[in-house]
Structure 1
Amino acid sequence: MDWLLERFAKADPGLKAFVHKGRITTYGEVSQSIARFAGELKTRGVQPGQTVVILADYAPDVFCMILALASLKTIVVPMTRGPVIEEGEALSISGCDHAIDFAPDGLSWTLEPRSIPAPNPMLAEFRATGKAGLVLFSSGSTGKPKGMLHDFERVMDKFLVARTPIVAIPFLMLDHFGGINTILAITASLGTVVTAENRAIATICQAIQDFKVELLPTTPSFLTLLAATDLSQRYDLTSLKRITYGTETMPQATLDRIRARFPGVELQQTYGLSEVGVLRSQSRPDGSLWVRIGGSGFETQVRDGILWIRSDYRMIGYLNAPSGFDAEGWFNTQDRVEVDGDYFRILGRITDLINVGGQKVYPAEVEDVILAQPNIADVVVVGEKHALLGQIVVAKVVVHEPEAADALRLRLRKACLAKLAAFKVPAKVELLDQEIYSARFKKMRR
């Protein structure tokens, strides 16, 4: 990571690195803060190879603290408030020697020893390399959360070649690989990170307007909500040059609406997994969901309709689960895909498939039809156990205006029958009045 610290040190010291709560932090200040934090941590007993948990959200000092910890060759475990898994469960997997807790404003912090052993041969072997580590956790939506150990220096090395600087909002959180990837990508090219108070649509739009944000990396769920409002007309979002979306399947109906709302903005589908990293991607320019993925350090392969990836930036392994890699280093993404030349269309995770009497249903294709109907703000499609069929399709919908449940059910089933095979049509339609998203702004299907 020396190259990254050197890049910060050689940058114009007045160059804008962060805009946080309206306050500007320059790259000169970033470079100084990393050195100051590293010195203070060392003085207070933080040693190479130790595991340090950092509880915080995006803020300049948080980023500087993470890099200071990496420079000391510790194993960093970033966690956020309102985490996707319980802190105790996470630390029982990763272990902990020290805990750093940042105040909500991201300005003040405390450090305290916390002895939570986690005897693990993989951790012991990694410590022997003398490198900085990074531990991230899956959301646990399909079972027990998995702890993933990365070589943090290898994660950073993906950004060795600088790109054009850009002003961007890091939407995904710091405990998510996509969040770490985004903030490293922005800063490694000496761009500007604009933090938002929260991830509410109006807050994000306000930040884009106020600070002339050029890049918004987000999720299809967020874009579905944005498309269901008039906020893109109420705020000046003309500074946007690119919107990237990933982490879950994008409904074509949402993509069409966002293209109509932002005709001059490049819409780019991204693809990545915490286990292998984020691949370079290029969306097909016809407005479809076909995407070309790969790039230096990545290889792709399709086996029986499932995408496999081999990556130079792969994790060391799971701390509490068997390896997800085969003998040749290929990782099973669990994503079923269609192939058209060198383009892929991601159909969805096989773990999300609904099995109706032996027939397979992808939730995203049903959601796409329902989202295109009037008065539908959002929908999540799930499978429900059934004594005879194994599972039935259930659509849980959010509406703009109140509507009688029977009338809603009838018109949505009729719309689905016109577009889909009968076994894919929802057997149940339920009205929702609660959140259908996880803390990582992805649809909750379980």
Structure 2
Amino acid sequence: MAGWPDLTRIPPSLLPVLTGPGAPFELVREDVRGVEMAVFAQRPRSLPELLAAAAREHPDRPYLVLPERTVTYGEAADAARAVAAVLRSRHGISAGDRVALAGANSAEHALTIWGVLLLGAVVVGLNGWWTGPELAAGLALTEPALLVADEPRLARLTQLDADAGSKVVAEAVAGAVSFTDLVAAAAETAGETGESGESGSPAFEPATIGEDDACAILFTSGTSGRPKGALISHRGLVNFAMDAALRGAVEAVSGAAPPPAGTPVSVLTGPFFHISGLGPLTAVAPRSGMTLVLPAPGRWDPAVHLELTARHGVTQWSGVPTQILRLLEHPDLDRMARPTIRGVGCGGATISPELPRLLEQRMPGIPLTNGYGMTETCGLGTAISGPRLAAHPTSAGVPTPTAEVAVRDESGAEITDGRIGELWIRCPSTFLGYWGEPVSPVDDQGWYPTGDYGRFEGGLLQVESRLRDMIVRGGENIYPIEIENRLLEHADVADAAVIGVAHRELGQEVLAVIVPRDGAVIDPADVRAWVGASLAAFKVPAHVTTVSSLPRNTTGKVLKQDLRKRFDVPPGTDAANETESGTGTSADAGVGSGTAAAR
């Protein structure tokens, strides 16, 4: 099968040491929800097990470093138990309940996540960049038992008109508690009861958690145009962390990356409501003992990232390609970053061939890693790094150690001759389904049809197109129909289509192609304000152009491939040659990052 886990670069003498019987990454075949898959034999069975082990092994090691405080692994475990106790006693939260969280990355947000997980409850990660109506839609879909949020998110919800939300939303907002108040109450209660911090103490008895119990609902754009809630399991995130750790070990023993030395330290740019933030926070860091540096809330800034790198001895960068590119081009790079960095990882968007070349130029010898995955697989799929990436910069790489990737035609038959087809993934980290949808897209053999298209060439995956018409802007997935629906509500818009156009740093930007009503004149600034009043800033069109009609096929479907060909260069730019357009550029909505989750 094209796309079986690649461990060929491990020297034969070291393979048993890494993956053989009794080894740290021993691989075995086991039943996973009715399907036999490759899993790690020596694995924790839940996320709380990971935190408990980290607290035992290095209780005084910094876990979260923030501008105002540092939280060690031991302190995090103690505080999480206290938060869980308050959630249970004061708010009635128990195993299986959903708790919606909305806010910027913070210590209080992180500890609340752990409190929810210790109860066997489910974290509902509401997107911190959403507008009030979007937050309300997330609440209405998931019907949480409790909403915990920071002040900016609560303000957006409380400003909604009385008839803008359902009874579920109104009750959630009325009963909401802030992260700060929750954690403060937990600290006070722990002090009053003499909480010892030991598992099984009188103040808190942990829940029994199964590997395939749900731990989170993370939102991802779906074919309906409304965000869908992907149900993530404890097994999924634990396996994600171990799969990543084995890949790192393979790079080290094969000589493609420098061997680890000392405590790994990383600046966490992913928001907690993304897999790129929740995965490192709850799985990768506890599994490796990594220290996570959290910048102050606000828009992501490469200068701040570099300063934190120098101040805290950051050993690895992880982020969307946009962020890595801006770091490499920053004038302070040589002075502030090079001494400690041992590796750079990308995700969330396709990288340009320029990125690995620039990294080698600015930081020689530092390995770069990229890959292909999605929320529904906890980010697993394929990966590529080091010399292999340098030689094949446009490739998404080979399947990760516990993932299988297949290319299939429209009938479902596997394609093995290099032709393009739909990409299907099977792994232990595959999600449990979409919340509120009775039928899971995962088939009875454990395969998830991604809706993305690609092909294998020389054993390496080439991703040819993203999920149908999905736009990926700075790591944020944007589904055009949501913006199109908003545009069609505008009094001057007769017809509209939304596509992605290339952008050097963000990967893609949003372009709105509009057919005006008779006699109407489209003002791009007005269009952007109209969209921005209802949708998050990163969905607001950066470019607006007008046409007399949209290209359609015989069934009336807009031919977006024709629009992409016509507007392969954004209209209004120096390189464009458009005679029928009105354009403008919106204010930068920010690169996807947890620290930009407050605006």
TM over 0.5: yes
What is the rounded CA distance, in whole Å, between the counterparts of 1:133 and 1:409 in structure 2? 48
1:282 maps to 384
CA contact (8 A) 2:310 2:336 kept: yes
Contact 2:212 2:235 in 1 (8 A): no
**Number of the residue aligned with 1:83:** 130
Question: Would you say 1:232 and 2:333 are equivalent positions?
Answer: yes
Code of the residue aligned with 1:98 in structure 2: it is L
Alignment of 1:209-228 (within 5 A): 209-227=310-328
Q: Deviations over 1:102-121 (max 9, x none)?
A: 468x972349xxxxxxxxxx
Amino acid at match of 2:588: E
User: What's the counterpart of residue 256 of structure 2?
Assistant: none
Do the aligned residues in 1 keep the contact of 2:65 with 2:292 (CA within 8 Å)? yes
**Aligned counterpart, 1:196:** 295
Structure-2 residue corresponding to 1:401: none
Partner of 1:300: 405
Structure 1 CA distance for aligned equivalents of residues 450 and 580 of structure 2: 30
Equivalent residues in 2 for 1:56-135, closer than 5 Å? 56-83=103-130, 86-102=134-150, 108-110=180-182, 131-135=213-217
Aligned mates of 1:140, 1:80 — CA distance in 2: 15
Please tell me whether the aligned partners of residues 395 and 426 of structure 1 are also in contact (alpha carbons under 8 angstroms): no
TM-score by length of 1: 0.75
SS of residue in 1 equivalent to 2:148: strand
Which position in structure 2 is the counterpart of 1:185?
284
Structure-2 residue corresponding to 1:358: none
Cα RMSD (Å) of the superposition?
3.7
Q: Percent identity at matched positions?
A: 20
Contact 1:100 1:109 in 2 (8 A): no
Q: Can you list the C-alpha shifts for 1:249-288, whole angstroms capped at 9, x where unaligned?
A: 2222344334322223211103221112222623324352
Q: Structure 2: how far apart are the matches of 1:222 and 1:131?
A: 34
Q: Residue in 2 aligned with 1:149? A: 231
User: How many residues align structurally?
Assistant: 390
The equivalent of 1:309 in structure 2 is 425
Counterparts of 1:160 and 1:381, CA distance in 2: 36
Give the whole-Å Cα distance in 2 for the aligned partners of 1:318 and 1:99: 20
- Native 8 Å contact 1:55 1:80 kept in 2: yes
Does the residue aligned with 1:249 lie in a helix, a strand or coil?
Answer: coil
Is residue 2:279 matched to residue 1:171? no
Which whole-Å CA distance do the structure 1 matches of 2:579 and 2:395 have between them? Answer: 26
Once the 2 structures are TM-superposed, how far is the Cα of residue 317 of structure 1 from its aligned partner?
0.5
| 1:49 equivalenced with 2:165 (yes/no) | no
Q: Partner residue of 2:588? A: 435
Worse-matched range after superposition: 383-392 or 202-211 = 383-392
Q: CA deviation at 1:149?
A: 1.4
* Partner AA of 1:294 in structure 2: P
Deviation string 1:301-325 (CA, Å, 9 cap, x unpaired) is: 0124222101211111012455332
On the 8 A contact 1:83/1:439 being kept in 2, the answer is no
5+ residue gaps, structure 1 = 112-126, 355-362, 399-404, 414-424, 442-446
8 A Cα contact 1:337 1:347, kept in partner: yes
Q: Partner of 1:343 in structure 2?
A: 460
The structure number with the bigger radius of gyration is: 2
Letter in 1 for 2:280: T
The CA distance in 2 between the partners of 1:234 and 1:352, in whole Å, is 41
Matching residue of 1:257: 358
Q: Distance in 1 between matches of 2:216 and 2:226?
A: 19
Separation in structure 1 between the aligned mates of residue 461 and residue 579 of structure 2, nearest angstrom: 27
Give the corresponding residue for 2:61: 15
Report SS of the residue matched to 2:60: coil
Paired residue secondary structure (1:409): coil
User: Which structure has greater strand proportion?
Assistant: 1
Confirm or deny: 8 A CA contact 1:205 1:235 kept in the other structure: yes
- Cα deviation, residue 437, structure 1: 5.7
Query: Corresponding residue for 2:16?
Result: none
> What amino acid is the match of 1:185?
V
Whether the 8 Å contact between 2:306 and 2:336 is mirrored in structure 1 is yes
Which segment is superposed worse, 131-140 or 37-46?
131-140
The answer to whether residue 355 in structure 2 is matched with residue 245 in structure 1 is no
Q: Distance in 1 between matches of 2:569 and 2:277?
A: 29
Which residue does 2:370 correspond to in 1? 269
Deviation at 1:160, TM superposition (A): 5.6
Quote how far apart the aligned CAs of 1:222 are: 2.4
Q: 1:137 aligned to 212, 219, 239, which one?
A: 219
Partner Cα separation in structure 2 for residue 343 and residue 310 of structure 1: 17
Secondary structure at the counterpart of residue 354 of structure 2: helix
2:469 pairs with 1:352? yes
Distance 1:266 1:428, change over 3 A: farther
